[in-house]
Structure 1
Amino acid sequence: MSDPASKRPVMIVPSVLPADFSKLGEEVAALEAAGVDLIQWDVMDGQFVPNLTFGPDVIRSARRHCSVPFEAHLMVYTPDVMAKDYIEAGCSRLIVHAEACTHLHRTCGNINDLGATAAVALSPATPASAVQHVLDLVDMVLVMTVNPGFGGQAYIPTMEPKIREVQAMLEAVGRADDVHIEVDGGIGPDTIAGAAAAGANVLIAGSALYRDPEGLEHAVSDLRARAEAARA
């Protein structure tokens, strides 16, 4: 019997946290040229997580420099307040944290009503069951493989069983083919196979892309090949 996860294509997605913030337009253009599938913006509010990062105007200014889709990972306490601005800035998917939403079902519905697609992120200590009752409203579940808030952290391999749990939940509700599973945190050549084999098909890479001595294009193709081999 074929693996339902294999029907979802592997997608290599950069976090722009390691990029040169003084030339983000050039950076996103370079990422598109390297073959990424979309670009993730890690939006941090200084409260849900310690850092502050990208406001909607920054993302809007970069939007015209490439054509791949943008998604915003909203590591914030007020996603409902911020959603419209990030969608208008050019983000076609908004990822909210289950831990930050008082009414997660309402928040996902609001994002969909605004014309974007909703996704939910789970921090390491949050059980997979936190998304069970919003699977009809999302097109992706993000399993964090580090604690949110900082780039360059080490991958937490004990999150792989949670990825499998999410996959099983999607199978149970008949959405295994059309809801993506994303992982974010510590993804690189040595860790991507474990995440992909567990069921993830959208793989966020930051530091690993930028530190590849052979450049961004090699890094993207190498990670894609490793993920596809793990899912074969």
Structure 2
Amino acid sequence: MQKPTRIAPSILSADFAKLGEEIKAIDAAGADYIHIDVMDGHFVPNITIGPDVVKAIKPYSKKVFDVHLMIQPVDLYIEAFAAAGADIITAHVEAGPHIHRTLQVIKAQGVKAGVSLNPSTPESTLDYLYEELDLILVMSVNPGFGGQSFISSQLRKLEAIRKRIDSLGLDIDLEVDGGVNAETARQVVSAGADLLVAGSATFKGGPEKYAENIKALRG
């Protein structure tokens, strides 16, 4: 069953010069999760942050730290991100040779496990993983940079995954990331998403606009 819509602002769009204050501001503005995009310049064409930064910002919010690892190989770094304060760790199907093993490594750290699908990754890759998952992240842009345009073909993927989650009767968050704004938020929620990652749409206008922006995304 689809859950109420929750918003996970991506700190990729925050002011990195005052990251702690930005996280406090989105927490106070009504964010449900704090979404942290980790990129390695190898799996995706950008480099962002490592576990030391996650550890440094953890005290600024008690909200769920939703850590999205866009790195390859991924298994070697899971323990460090869990120790740094991740509550959920999400890895891509393509980030290692054995995604099922990766999920086992994540769960062994005592945190929730997620899988992410790139725009061209079919939902069939989840067929033997559903029972291991706490979260499924559908990328509605190609990962690597914020501010990209929404890829509408991912609505069909969201619909198919939502149908499968419900048919199995499982408690899995269905998250979407990429080009999410007040307009596309309605589309992805209608398609079955219940956790929306939004960077640019949350942080535009500065801290005085964060609550208004989050409310617009929630619909």
> Which of the five TM-score ranges fits, normalised by the shorter chain?
over 0.9
CA deviations on 1:42-101 (whole Å, 9 max, x unpaired) are 000110001110110011111111111101100011221000100111111001001212
Instruction: State how 1:184-223 maps to structure 2 within 5 Å.
Output: 184-212=177-205, 215-223=209-217
Query: Deviation at 1:223?
Result: 1.1
Does 2:18 align with 1:23?
A: yes
Instruction: State how 1:21-170 maps to structure 2 within 5 Å.
Output: 21-170=16-165
Unaligned runs of 5+ in 2: none
- Is the Cα–Cα contact under 8 Å of residues 132 and 169 in structure 1 kept in the other structure? no
Amino acid at match of 2:215: S
CA deviations on 1:132-181 (whole Å, 9 max, x unpaired) are 21111111101110000010000011110000111122123221xx1010
Secondary structure of the structure 2 residue equivalent to 1:191: helix
| Separation of aligned partners in 2, 1:171 and 1:218 | 32
Give aligned-pair identity as a percent.
41
Query: Deviation at 1:212?
Result: 4.5
Number of the residue aligned with 1:10: 5
Secondary structure of the structure 1 residue equivalent to 2:154: helix
Q: TM-score, normalised by structure 1?
A: 0.91
| Separation of aligned partners in 2, 1:45 and 1:117 | 22
| Separation of aligned partners in 2, 1:174 and 1:64 | 35
| Separation of aligned partners in 2, 1:9 and 1:86 | 28
| Separation of aligned partners in 2, 1:64 and 1:198 | 35
Give the RMSD, CA atoms, in angstroms. Answer: 1.1
Of 48-57 and 165-174, deviating more is 165-174
| Separation of aligned partners in 1, 2:96 and 2:137 | 15
Secondary structure of the structure 2 residue equivalent to 1:157: coil
Amino acid at match of 2:131: D
| Separation of aligned partners in 2, 1:101 and 1:54 | 20
Number of the residue aligned with 1:229: none
Unaligned runs of 5+ in 1: 227-232
Query: Deviation at 1:206?
Result: 0.5
Of 162-171 and 213-222, deviating more is 213-222
Number of the residue aligned with 1:230: none
